[in-house]
Structure 1
Amino acid sequence: MATALSRPAEASGTFPIGGDLTVNRLGYGAMQLTGPGVWGDPQDPDEAVRVLRRAVELGVNLIDTADSYGPFVSEMLIKKALHPYPEDLVIATKGGLTRSGPDDWRPVGRPEYLRQQTELSLRHLGVERIDLYQLHRIDAKVPLADQLGELVKLREEGKIRHIGLSEVTVAQLEEARGIAEIVSVQNLYNLAHRDAEDVLEYCEREGIAFIPWFPIATGRLARPGGPLDAFSREHGATPSQLALAWLLRRSPVMLPIPGTSKVAHLEENTEAARITLTDTEYEALTAAV
């Protein structure tokens, strides 16, 4: 029988995405389950499968991916590892970025393209409906109403449950909400990079899930003698664990999705859910940048 000790992600608390998809706040991002440059197959496909299965064992029930990771490699690995899916598992995917090679990303938001990619994601994940489908980037060459309008049609057809956005400003989020119900925002945000603070605060006010991508960015904060180094020794934790604990403390709408291709690193990250920062520690880390 699984216990709280064996399912540390449950210690992160929960958040109801869209009001009806309750997930443990510490999730898993599946971008790193591909080859170098987020391109092609992983060097160790068996380890990728083990990572996904172990994540669920650890209490993770939010997995974030995208059609462009591979492309499609990440989605197909998720299906291979976890299908048929646990009833409480929420798989979020994204569409709207095309790939022409390693580390190359180009927005395409034409309605017919987004529909095609949604249909392919349904097939690759092995589901009839995607719980959370996120527009990976707004395409400046296509009216936002056309991009989101197609996702609304797909939702009305029962192929998408909820709609989210990625890398948006407050103004773009407000415009989007005039077109469709938006339940999540996925922006770059971590202890060292907080340019999206205004977007996070907006999400807090409106009860929108905020999914920080690249949640672990310790860099100079983890240098010998730095704030993360000192707190790490006090807690017996790693700098990465403290960076995740800071995110979880920062906001109740925060859903960090640290990614990795190794089981050992996954287990280390997930243990961050059990770390409770004191007010002094939280404020010192916040002020460290």
Structure 2
Amino acid sequence: MTASNTPNPQATTVTGAPRPAGPGLLVGRTVSRIGYGAMQLERLHDDRAGALTLLRRAVALGIDHFDTAQFYGNGFVNELIREAISPQDGVLIASKVGADPNPGGPVPMRPAQRPEELRASVEANLTGLGLDRLDLVNLRRMDAAPRIPLEADQVVDLDDQLAEMTALRDEGKIGAIGLSTVTMDGLRQAIPAGIACVQNAYSLVARGDEDMLQLCVQEQIAWVPYFPLGSAFPGFPKVTDEPAVITAARSLDVTPSQVGLAWLLHHAPNVHLIPGTANADHLEANVAAGALTLDEAALTALDAVLPRSVDVSIG
């Protein structure tokens, strides 16, 4: 029997569903390369049943990597995940710290960078999710775009933060450490502490961190881009506006969003996607992007798209 005909036991989740975009490694575990970013679930605050149904549908579609945070919806999103996801689903839960909820503010989160705040946020995530241990916790720095203005007491040295995160890992409260919104210098500084993934704003049209992505490939660090299709923030370009993306979508009879996601998966082997949505149809479309094949001509045209630099502050 040839290798291509041999069943791959890692191609399906513990529930038996095929993994969207196939299997990939994250914190040493095999998970779907297309995960689910839960931030937009806060839009369903008045439709709890609908939100729970969406989460269960994601599991049914083979997604076993969920990305969340206690500051999403001021704890509402974590409550939903706690209710919808059971240990038997085999889902890897990634959370993040470095910010706290900011209800009613111009930005729904405020910086919480001090070591004691990182610890408090880990504890809040554990309580909200009903867990004894978080599989992965991303430290949300404020070094790269989109930046949030910092008060003086929130300017904290990365080494001090990593010392607290390492202590939490040693205590068994978290399984692995990731970094979010980090610079290349920050990543290099942090690598000796053991970094499992990097979450930065990155897409076909915003590739300012290309060198960082390649470093992550070399160091076997997962690359989990947010804003994979751009952002609504002023100053962020949108992937779906690019003529090359629109042309590829028309030729494949898919959406420009699906082309943008598929390009990321083709671009590097360590890419894991966490597109977020509060809409069931969009969830299905995101999963379907994992099966999209881009031929050499399409990839050449997409790779030729000129990326734009992004340097945005919010709040």
What's the TM-score once normalised by structure 1's chain length?
Answer: 0.89
Q: Is 1:33–1:260's contact at 8 Å kept on the other side of the alignment?
A: yes
Find the partner of 1:69 among 42, 60, 72: 72
Q: Is 1:47–1:263's contact at 8 Å kept on the other side of the alignment?
A: no
Aligned residues: 277
Find the partner of 1:177 among 183, 191, 208: 191
Q: Which amino acid aligns with 2:137?
A: Y
Structure 2 counterpart of 1:53: 56
Q: Is 1:10–1:273's contact at 8 Å kept on the other side of the alignment?
A: no
The answer to whether residue 285 in structure 2 is matched with residue 268 in structure 1 is: yes
User: CA–CA distance in 2 between the matches of 1:53 and 1:11?
Assistant: 15
Structure 1 residues 108 and 272 mapped into 2: Cα distance closer, same or farther (>3 Å)?
A: same
1:151-166 paired onto structure 2 within 5 Å: 151-166=165-180
1:36-51 paired onto structure 2 within 5 Å: 42-51=45-54
Structure 1 residues 7 and 285 mapped into 2: Cα distance closer, same or farther (>3 Å)?
A: farther
User: CA–CA distance in 2 between the matches of 1:236 and 1:7?
Assistant: 29
The answer to whether residue 83 in structure 2 is matched with residue 80 in structure 1 is: yes
Q: Which amino acid aligns with 1:15?
A: G
Q: Structure 1 residue 216: deviation in Å? A: 2.0
Give unmatched runs, 5+ long, in structure 2: 1-10, 143-149, 232-236, 307-315
Find the partner of 2:161 among 112, 126, 147: 147
Structure 1 counterpart of 2:301: 284
Structure 1 counterpart of 2:23: 14
User: CA–CA distance in 2 between the matches of 1:13 and 1:241?
Assistant: 16
Q: Secondary structure at the match of 2:94?
A: strand
Structure 2 counterpart of 1:106: 110
CA deviations over 1:79-122 (Å, ceiling 9, x no partner): 1111x233521010001112332524332221211111111111
Structure 2 counterpart of 1:33: 41
CA deviations over 1:181-240 (Å, ceiling 9, x no partner): 1110000011121111121111011110000001123966545x9222222122111111
Q: Secondary structure at the match of 1:50?
A: helix
The answer to whether residue 218 in structure 2 is matched with residue 209 in structure 1 is: no
User: CA–CA distance in 2 between the matches of 1:143 and 1:220?
Assistant: 33
User: CA–CA distance in 1 between the matches of 2:121 and 2:267?
Assistant: 34
Q: Structure 1 residue 70: deviation in Å? A: 1.3
Q: Which amino acid aligns with 2:22?
A: G
Structure 1 residues 33 and 7 mapped into 2: Cα distance closer, same or farther (>3 Å)?
A: farther
Q: Structure 1 residue 132: deviation in Å? A: 0.3
Structure 2 counterpart of 1:38: none
